[in-house]
Amino acid sequence: MAVARPCVGAHVSTAGGLVHAVDRAVDIGAHCVQIFVSAPQQWRQTQHKDADVAAFREGLASRGLAPVFIHAVYLLNLASPNEELRRRSVEVLLSHLRVADQIGAAGVIFHPGSHTGSGDEAGEQAIVNSLRFAMRQHDGPAGLLLETTAGSKGIIGGTFEQLARLIERLGGGARLQVCLDTAHVFEAGYDCITADGVNRMLTRFDETVGLSRLTCVHANDSKTPFASHVDRHANIGEGHIGRAGFWHLLHDPTIAARPLVLEVPGFTGEGPDRPNVDLLRAIAAAPSPEVAQGLPLLVTGDDA
């Protein structure tokens, strides 16, 4: 049985200004949006003019795009043993949170960080200290979304238990939420390509983190095999999760009810595109995993 049409969106570029992200999202048929609000490989934070923010918010409302998420810059590392790096990371995170409040974003998604050899306990404590400070400095409505990771060496967030410890040590406030990346959990060793596997994964998530904290799903196929602990995204249906795997994911009511954000390379190598959006929706509408498996690589559908 097909599930209700899911809220499918994508990470889109803000090149040229925030408002251009709205047009790019509409062009690929997205219904929810994730953006960078500054260059992802730089510390320098973009200052957004009030007029640009107003135009962006008006564009979102007029096109019915929601929710909106900000993804933190790649340089951010709250787990680093380097005090200066942590300080700069917290400053960037606070900047993102302020912009999130300005544009009405649901939250800021960020990778917990890498301890770079200092050990899990030291890395977790560094994250806790960093986030505790950030939450004291900013009490706005935007959520803080810890993203699941592939569990690569030194990278925090490869297990649900690890994320749960961070949240518990921070007092468990409602602002502390999680973004589940399908490629990352598959790469970390959670079976998400069978019905039983998806059920076990989400049961474990609920027992540790709690499903009430699952705010967003990054819908990405995996270029690397199961339990590889190597983070590499693939287009929907071109990786090891595959169309049938996504059918099982999308036919779980917990996943289907969350906003699904694509971070795939795109079939032309230019990032999330309409074929990936259409294919994900077609998989959700397919009556069985066998039908989903046989779907054509590029799907054109009505995105109204």
pLDDT digit string (tens) for 234-289? 999 999 999 999 999 999 999 999 999 999 999 999 999 999 999 999 999 999 99
List phi, psi (to 5°) of 174.
-65, -25
The single-letter code of the amino acid at 217 is: V
Task: Please determine, for residue 171, whether its predicted confidence score (pLDDT) is greater than 90.
Answer: yes
Task: Please determine, for residue 1, whether its predicted confidence score (pLDDT) is greater than 90.
Answer: no
Average pLDDT for the chain: 95
Q: Please give the structure tokens belonging to residue 296.
A: 């054509």
pLDDT-derived band at 66 (thresholds 50, 70, 90) equals: very high
pLDDT-derived band at 4 (thresholds 50, 70, 90) equals: low
d(CA 193, CA 289): 10
Question: How confident is the model at residue 296, as a pLDDT?
Answer: 78
> Is 39 a member of any domain?
yes
Task: Please determine, for residue 2, whether its predicted confidence score (pLDDT) is greater than 90.
Answer: no
- pTM (predicted TM-score): 0.95
Cβ 166 vs Cβ 112: under 8 Å:
yes
Q: Which of 69, 163, 169, 155 is nearest to 119 (CA)?
A: 155
d(CA 258, CA 255): 5
d(CA 14, CA 98): 17
**Within 10 Å of residue 241's Cβ, how many Cβ atoms?**
25
> Is 249 a member of any domain?
yes
Question: How confident is the model at residue 40, as a pLDDT?
Answer: 87
d(CA 165, CA 157): 10
Question: How confident is the model at residue 299, as a pLDDT?
Answer: 44
Cβ 52 vs Cβ 60: under 8 Å:
no
d(CA 156, CA 148): 9
Q: What is the mean pLDDT of residues 162-179?
A: 98
Cβ 7 vs Cβ 31: under 8 Å:
yes
Q: Please give the structure tokens belonging to residue 270.
A: 């230019």
> Is 133 a member of any domain?
yes
Task: Please determine, for residue 301, whether its predicted confidence score (pLDDT) is greater than 90.
Answer: no
Gyration radius (Cα) of the chain, Å: 18
Domain count, the chain: 1
Contacts for 213 with CB less than 8 Å, ≥ 6 apart: 167, 176, 177, 178
> Is 106 a member of any domain?
yes
Question: How confident is the model at residue 3, as a pLDDT?
Answer: 53
> Is 239 a member of any domain?
yes
> Is 285 a member of any domain?
yes
Q: Which of 139, 138, 218 is nearest to 185 (CA)?
A: 218
Question: How confident is the model at residue 223, as a pLDDT?
Answer: 98
What string of DSSP letters covers 174-193?
TTEEEEEEHHHHHHHT---S
> Is 303 a member of any domain?
no
How does pLDDT run across 126-155, given as a tens digit for each residue?
999 999 999 999 999 999 999 999 999 999
How does pLDDT run across 91-121, given as a tens digit for each residue?
999 999 999 999 999 999 999 999 999 999 9
Q: State the residue range of the domain holding 211.
A: 18-293
d(CA 150, CA 160): 11
pLDDT-derived band at 5 (thresholds 50, 70, 90) equals: confident
Q: Domain of 182: which CATH number? A: 3.20.20.150
Task: Please determine, for residue 162, whether its predicted confidence score (pLDDT) is greater than 90.
Answer: yes
Instruction: Give the orientation angle of helix 195-208 with respect to helix 160-169, to 10 degrees.
Output: 20
Instruction: Give the orientation angle of helix 242-250 with respect to helix 274-285, to 10 degrees.
Output: 60
pLDDT-derived band at 41 (thresholds 50, 70, 90) equals: confident
Question: How confident is the model at residue 35, as a pLDDT?
Answer: 98
> Is 284 a member of any domain?
yes
How does pLDDT run across 22-32, given as a tens digit for each residue?
999 999 999 99
41-50, 63-72, 211-220, range with the lowest pLDDT: 41-50
